[in-house]
Amino acid sequence: MVIALKALSKNKFKTTLIFISMVISIMAIFLISAIADGVVGMYSAMLKTDGDIVVTQKGVADTFFSDINRSIGQSIAKIQGVKSISSLVLGAAPVNKLPIVGIYGVSQNRFNSYKLKSGHYPKAGEVLLGYKIYQTLNQPSFVNISKKIFRVSGTFESKIGFEDGGVVMNIDEAGDIFHKNASILLVSVKNIQDGLSITKKINAISNEIEAKTADSFIDSYNQFKIIKTSSDVISILALTMGVIGIVSMMSMVVNDRKAEFGIMRSIGLSSWGIINELLIETIIIAIVAYIVAFGASELVLDLIKQVDKFQGYINGEITFALALKVGIVSLLMALLGAFMPAIYASRIDPMSLIQRGES
């Protein structure tokens, strides 16, 4: 360990390069995963608010394109174990100067899931603004949504970025804007164990709709799959770039230090000892790079949250699970990157290492 640290500080320049390439790779993985998880997490949280079961139009995978008739709710309400049903129109439209804003047309019984900060819940011709968008639009008294003017009835606060940067209104008025009766129904049940059986009963009511438990809806939701796959692909690319960076830098380091390894072999340090030595050095860099990348990523995510342009829709958070996952990936990156050059260094006849140069 002492030797590894001394060796690293001797080779400052290359150590720094390896360090930087690792920090960048690890940050890339942190950011893309956190942001992807954030989008998925926010949307999931939104659906799961009073929604144990999600009902959509059958065969329409996207909540935005789903179109159902909310009268079906009356039949669902009769199923035993159903606690409440709320209907939503989900859409996106320009609001004043902002080109795309999430619009939530909700049934009356869902209003209380939005925590009022000022004013009252919207009546006809009124909208409730998320606090973030309220600020972004400079605290307007009226807003223009799809060429219609609405009075601002008040503001609400939400941890979910999509809501905090969104607009809530009565479902009928949202239905007029988006030309539909409802996008989805959210059913909450008295007893969560009954979720699956109630889901089956709902599906039996009509073949124009499709009900899923919130969890399985989220698991199978196409948009989420696309986001997750993209983030995984980018993470793997970042990992690969990191590994390649380490391999090439470590190869140079090994080349620079050939004589040194030759000497070590000649005085009886084993091949494994040398491999070990190089791995320890790389792992030390990886650990420091991980810590720095973690801090830097937190900082960047924090900055992104404050950028008005993103309207709070990009809201990544580094969870413990993500930190752990990336930690493991970082170690893997270090080991994969250092292993080949280390094996190479340990294989050569000590004498041919030594003859190359003077230590």
74 vs 359 by CB, closer to another protein: 359
Tell me the window of 96-104, 149-157, 166-174, 347-355 that interacts with another protein (CB under 8 A). 347-355
Least distance between another protein and beta carbon 271 (Å): 7
354 contributes a contact to another protein by CB under 8 A: yes
Range 61-120, binding another protein (CB under 8 A): none
208 vs 256 by CB, closer to another protein: 256
219 contributes a contact to another protein by CB under 8 A: no
Residue choice 38, 161, 175, 350 for contact with another protein (CB under 8 A): 350
Least distance between another protein and beta carbon 306 (Å): 45
7 vs 171 by CB, closer to another protein: 7
324-350: b (≥16 Cβ within 10 Å) or e: eebbebbeebbbbbbbebbebbbebeb
207 vs 359 by CB, closer to another protein: 359
Question: Per-residue DSSP letters for 180-242?
Answer: -SBSEEEEEESSGGGHHHHHHHHHHH-TTEEEEEHHHHHHH-HHHHHHHHHHHHHHHHHHHHH
Torsions phi, psi for 140 (to 5 deg): -75, 155
347 contributes a contact to another protein by CB under 8 A: no
Cα gap 129→117, rounded to integer Å: 10
258 contributes a contact to another protein by CB under 8 A: no
225 contributes a contact to another protein by CB under 8 A: no
Beta bridge partners of 186: 54, 86
273 contributes a contact to another protein by CB under 8 A: yes
Q: Which two tokens stand for residue 89?
A: 């129109």
Tell me the window of 56-64, 224-232, 240-248, 260-268 that interacts with another protein (CB under 8 A). 260-268
288 Cβ contact list (under 8 Å, min separation 6): 19
Least distance between another protein and beta carbon 276 (Å): 12
Q: Which two tokens stand for residue 340?
A: 């080949």
94 vs 273 by CB, closer to another protein: 273
Q: Which two tokens stand for residue 65?
A: 């394109």
Least distance between another protein and beta carbon 22 (Å): 22
Q: Which two tokens stand for residue 160?
A: 């979910």
Three-point CA angle 297, 228, 247, nearest 5°: 60
Least distance between another protein and beta carbon 254 (Å): 15
Residue choice 6, 123, 347, 356 for contact with another protein (CB under 8 A): 6
Tell me the window of 106-114, 199-207, 236-244, 258-266 that interacts with another protein (CB under 8 A). 258-266
Cα gap 173→177, rounded to integer Å: 7
User: Do the beta carbons of residue 290 and residue 328 sit within 8 Å?
Assistant: no
352 contributes a contact to another protein by CB under 8 A: yes
Cα gap 211→55, rounded to integer Å: 4
* Contacting positions for another protein (CB under 8 A): 2-3, 6-7, 9-10, 259-260, 263-271, 273, 349-352, 354, 358-359
